[in-house]
Chain A
Amino acid sequence: MKNEAVQLPLPGFDTARAEWRSDYNEQLGDPPNPRNRSGIEVKPLYTLADWDPANYMDDLGFPGQLPMTRGIYATMHRGRSWSQRQLIGLGTPEDYNERLKNLIAHGSNAGSLIPCNSVYRGYDGDEVDPLLLGTCGAVVNTVEDMGICYRDIPIGDFSTALNDPSPFTLLALLLCVAKRRGIPWNKITGTSNQSDYISHFVCNHMFFRLALPGARRVLLDHIVFAQKHVPGWNPLSVVGQHMQQGGATPGEAMGLTLSTAIQYANDCVARGLDPDQFLPRFTFFFDISISFFEEIAKFRAGRRVWQRLVRERFGAQNPKAWRFKFHAQTSGVDLTREQPLNNISRVTVQAMAGIFGGLQSLHTDAYDEVLSVPTEKAARIAVATQEILKEEAHLTNVIDPLGGSYYVETLTNEMEAKILEVIERIDQAGGMFAAVETGLVQSMVGDSALAFQERVESGEETIVGVNKNLVADDDQMAREPLKPPSGEVIEAQLMRLKRFKAERNQEAVTRALDDLARAGESVDENVFGKIVEAADANATHGEICHRLREVYGFGEPLIVP
């Protein structure tokens, strides 16, 4: 990374530049430059005085080659565009199944399961206020529920992202469904989407089920288990999305996420795992804000930093271990409740940034996410947006199309510097685990959230319909919130759970849960293996979580004032 000014052999360059600057200042009076969300000053014009194409091989190289800036595969979106992975989940397993089939019919080629918040908190449906059941995700508590979710879906040929934090009960249930259908586990592909307990501890506490040491243990066991038994599964997704949604700037979010990944890789190495084997299954999940060029530069810089980290710190030799694979979701924080149809434009711009950033998988938000849980109509438009960008706008025809832009390359270098600053700070604090235990990271993220809000309050950050272009809101037709499941539907779901519990072999359940607790207390047994066995003995999600909480303690966030 060299971005100092270079000797310019171009005749007339200096004179022409001075002339331009003089014209510019004459018309605008030399106003101060704005800063992007990561705090980087943005100039009005970039030239080869900012980024010298002579650095091409050091800074960029070719797609699939070091330093990976231009993409992790030789073919990138020409070879395979991206997985259209929409988050869905509402109501009962039947509702989920219907909606999944619908999305597949409309072009989705991979699925994602969002469970109900009760599931996130580690409870079964019969333990929480029924008013909340199924209002934000599907109620999935048992092998039977999971089987209904994937009824008529060939789970061996369909990539599934499970929003399934530690202790990964949904994956256990899915594996049991596969087993009962005679589908070998080596055919199961997908990702444990919420396996990053550190980001849950810091930001998105709703996924935080077990206290830190327990979460750490179960994650490692789950990585070991997947490596051995479910080789097509990505057991780890490091979630920068939570950091950024929680308030971290794009640069901070990338730095904190890479520091988190370093922590997990160190933990895997301490377990005796081989980086060349486990690193290729590391995946990342990021937020795409509407700060278009900043996001593109964030992803390009992240790719470059990651390949260097895995080679320098972990000695990774396997080129697959150098690949920075990521799923990205357009940011809900940028969407507005005012004039909600405007959100379709915002999501389009965010998605473009992600595509130009070289993502592997994309979720586009529905325009009504600020109003309620997304409706089916809005979810369909979100999928269509991806199709339009790909098929009509042909954004995938050229790999890394913004590569070589003086601005994008300069910004990529500057974002890289920001990212390295954050990683350095976390290293100094003793690594990510230590830095979240002391609350350092929580303070960083909280301060940035407040600073951003100050920018909005002061009008420095414009939000159309909120602090600019306030017009009478005529988008009433866009405001048809999705109805939560009816009382009868929830009643039926609870009856099914009751019947399931009554009809199973209670002795086998008790034995499996006791086994699980013993494994949790031991140091050498694989806890996740015991979770799968418990699920197969028809223990419920809640029962498994409770048993582990007895061993490890309930996850509580650290509140930093």
Chain B
Amino acid sequence: MTSNSDETFPPRVLVTKIGLDGHDRGSRIVAAFLRDAGMEVIYTSPWQEIDRVVRLALEEDVDVIGVSSLATDHLLVPKLMVALEDAGLGHVKVVVGGIVPDDDEADLVDAGVSKVFHPGSARDDIVGEVAALAAKARREREQENAS
């Protein structure tokens, strides 16, 4: 059983960009959507190092990390997944939004990414999915802590 207090906390989401690209219209809009839906959003400027994302996720105690990618930076996400696991943050759910070719999507899912949002994704779908993933992340962490 998860504690009630955990369920009532708003989801905490880190919205970030890793790699070399700086286009941030998408990440800013999604961050605003999540914030408007009542979530606590930690937003970073582009070009974050993977180590810093992991550190932020730990310090800010996030449930979900949203990585925005326009120009192939999604290729680095599998490395982020490994780094999260190594840091004991295996329960944190990672979603990717942006331009991701179909073949690469399969690779990302294999690497543990929970969901890839493509251009044209509806706000309500993104908000709903992230909320569900956040709840799942909390349940998993509770279970880990309990065991």
Contact between A484 and B72, CB atoms less than 8 A apart: yes
The yes or no answer to A404 lying at the interface (CB within 8 A) is no
Interface string of A279-292 (1 = CB under 8 A from B): 00000000000000
Please report the C-alpha to C-alpha distance between residue A557 and residue B123 in the assembled complex, in whole angstroms. 26
The yes or no answer to B46 lying at the interface (CB within 8 A) is yes
Contact between A132 and B20, CB atoms less than 8 A apart: yes
Give B108 Cβ to nearest chain A Cβ, in Å: 13
- Which of B22, B32, B79, B120 meets A206, CB within 8 Å? B22
Interface string of A178-216 (1 = CB under 8 A from B): 000000000000000000000000011111100000000
Contact between B76 and A132, CB atoms less than 8 A apart: yes
Please report the C-alpha to C-alpha distance between residue A50 and residue B103 in the assembled complex, in whole angstroms. 54
Binds B, one of A103-111, A116-124, A147-155, A347-355: A116-124
Return chain B residues, CB-CB under 8 Å to A203.
25
The yes or no answer to A31 lying at the interface (CB within 8 A) is no
Contact between B101 and A371, CB atoms less than 8 A apart: yes
Return chain A residues, CB-CB under 8 Å to B124.
457
Q: In the complex, which range does the number of interface residues on chain A fall in?
A: 35 or more
Contact between A453 and B119, CB atoms less than 8 A apart: no
Interface string of A356-397 (1 = CB under 8 A from B): 000000000000001111000000000000000000000000
Contact between A117 and B123, CB atoms less than 8 A apart: no
Please report the C-alpha to C-alpha distance between residue A247 and residue B71 in the assembled complex, in whole angstroms. 18
Please report the C-alpha to C-alpha distance between residue A208 and residue B124 in the assembled complex, in whole angstroms. 33
Return chain A residues, CB-CB under 8 Å to B73.
117, 132
Contact between B22 and A371, CB atoms less than 8 A apart: no
The yes or no answer to A79 lying at the interface (CB within 8 A) is no
Q: Tell me the chain B residues, 15-47 only, with Cβ under 8 Å from chain A.
A: 19-25, 28-29, 32, 43, 45-47
Contact between B20 and A117, CB atoms less than 8 A apart: yes
Return chain A residues, CB-CB under 8 Å to B24.
205, 557
Residue from A206, A337, A466, A479 having most chain B Cβ neighbours under 10 A: A206
Q: Tell me the chain A residues, 330-357 only, with Cβ under 8 Å from chain B.
A: 335-338
The yes or no answer to A54 lying at the interface (CB within 8 A) is no
Please report the C-alpha to C-alpha distance between residue A466 and residue B123 in the assembled complex, in whole angstroms. 12
Return chain A residues, CB-CB under 8 Å to B102.
371, 479, 481
Contact between A338 and B75, CB atoms less than 8 A apart: no
The yes or no answer to A450 lying at the interface (CB within 8 A) is yes
The yes or no answer to A275 lying at the interface (CB within 8 A) is no
Interface string of A532-561 (1 = CB under 8 A from B): 000000000000000000000000110101
Please report the C-alpha to C-alpha distance between residue A187 and residue B90 in the assembled complex, in whole angstroms. 59
Please report the C-alpha to C-alpha distance between residue A463 and residue B102 in the assembled complex, in whole angstroms. 21
For A206, give the chain B residue with the smallest CB separation. B22
Return chain B residues, CB-CB under 8 Å to A135.
71-72, 75
The yes or no answer to B122 lying at the interface (CB within 8 A) is yes
For A555, give the chain B residue with the smallest CB separation. B22
Give A34 Cβ to nearest chain B Cβ, in Å: 22
The yes or no answer to B109 lying at the interface (CB within 8 A) is no
The yes or no answer to A128 lying at the interface (CB within 8 A) is yes
Q: Tell me the chain A residues, 243-300 only, with Cβ under 8 Å from chain B.
A: 245-247
Contact between B71 and A136, CB atoms less than 8 A apart: yes
For A242, give the chain B residue with the smallest CB separation. B23
Please report the C-alpha to C-alpha distance between residue A481 and residue B123 in the assembled complex, in whole angstroms. 26
- Which of A128, A205, A481 meets B103, CB within 8 Å? A481
- Contacts A337-B120, A370-B99, A559-B43 hold; do A449 and B25 have CB atoms under 8 A apart? yes
The yes or no answer to A529 lying at the interface (CB within 8 A) is no
- Contacts A245-B25, A247-B25 hold; do A336 and B119 have CB atoms under 8 A apart? yes
Return chain B residues, CB-CB under 8 Å to A335.
119
Please report the C-alpha to C-alpha distance between residue A40 and residue B83 in the assembled complex, in whole angstroms. 50
For B19, give the chain A residue with the smallest CB separation. A132
Interface string of A458-473 (1 = CB under 8 A from B): 0000010111000000
The yes or no answer to A129 lying at the interface (CB within 8 A) is yes
Return chain B residues, CB-CB under 8 Å to A136.
21, 71-72
Give B20 Cβ to nearest chain A Cβ, in Å: 4
Please report the C-alpha to C-alpha distance between residue A273 and residue B54 in the assembled complex, in whole angstroms. 50
For A447, give the chain B residue with the smallest CB separation. B32
For A372, give the chain B residue with the smallest CB separation. B101
The yes or no answer to B118 lying at the interface (CB within 8 A) is yes
Contact between A246 and B25, CB atoms less than 8 A apart: yes
Return chain B residues, CB-CB under 8 Å to A479.
101-102
Give B50 Cβ to nearest chain A Cβ, in Å: 9
The yes or no answer to A131 lying at the interface (CB within 8 A) is yes
- Which of B21, B101, B123 meets A453, CB within 8 Å? B123
Contact between A121 and B99, CB atoms less than 8 A apart: no
For A118, give the chain B residue with the smallest CB separation. B20
Return chain B residues, CB-CB under 8 Å to A561.
43
Residue from B28, B32, B76 having most chain A Cβ neighbours under 10 A: B28
For A558, give the chain B residue with the smallest CB separation. B45
- Which of B28, B99, B120 meets A463, CB within 8 Å? B120
Give A472 Cβ to nearest chain B Cβ, in Å: 15
Please report the C-alpha to C-alpha distance between residue A335 and residue B99 in the assembled complex, in whole angstroms. 12
- Which of A245, A246, A450, A557 meets B45, CB within 8 Å? A557
Return chain A residues, CB-CB under 8 Å to B104.
481
Please report the C-alpha to C-alpha distance between residue A453 and residue B126 in the assembled complex, in whole angstroms. 13
For B124, give the chain A residue with the smallest CB separation. A457
Please report the C-alpha to C-alpha distance between residue A446 and residue B28 in the assembled complex, in whole angstroms. 8
Return chain A residues, CB-CB under 8 Å to B118.
337
Give B51 Cβ to nearest chain A Cβ, in Å: 13
Give A14 Cβ to nearest chain B Cβ, in Å: 47
List 14 A-B pairs, Cβ < 8 Å: A117-B19, A117-B21, A129-B76, A205-B22, A205-B24, A206-B46, A206-B71, A370-B119, A453-B123, A457-B123, A479-B101, A481-B102, A484-B72, A557-B24
Q: Across the A-B interface, give the 4 residue pairs with the lowest CB-CB distance, nearest first.
A: A205-B22, A206-B22, A117-B20, A481-B101
Sample of 20 more A-B contacts, CB < 8 Å, known A131-B75, A205-B46, A556-B45: A117-B20, A117-B71, A117-B73, A129-B19, A132-B72, A132-B73, A132-B75, A204-B22, A205-B24, A206-B21, A206-B22, A336-B119, A337-B119, A372-B99, A453-B29, A463-B120, A479-B101, A481-B103, A557-B24, A559-B43
> Chain B residues in contact with chain A, CB under 8 A?
19-25, 28-29, 32, 43, 45-47, 71-73, 75-76, 79, 99, 101-104, 118-120, 122-124
> Chain A residues in contact with chain B, CB under 8 A?
117-118, 120-121, 128-129, 131-132, 135-136, 203-208, 245-247, 335-338, 370-373, 446, 449-450, 453, 457, 463, 465-467, 479, 481, 484, 556-557, 559, 561
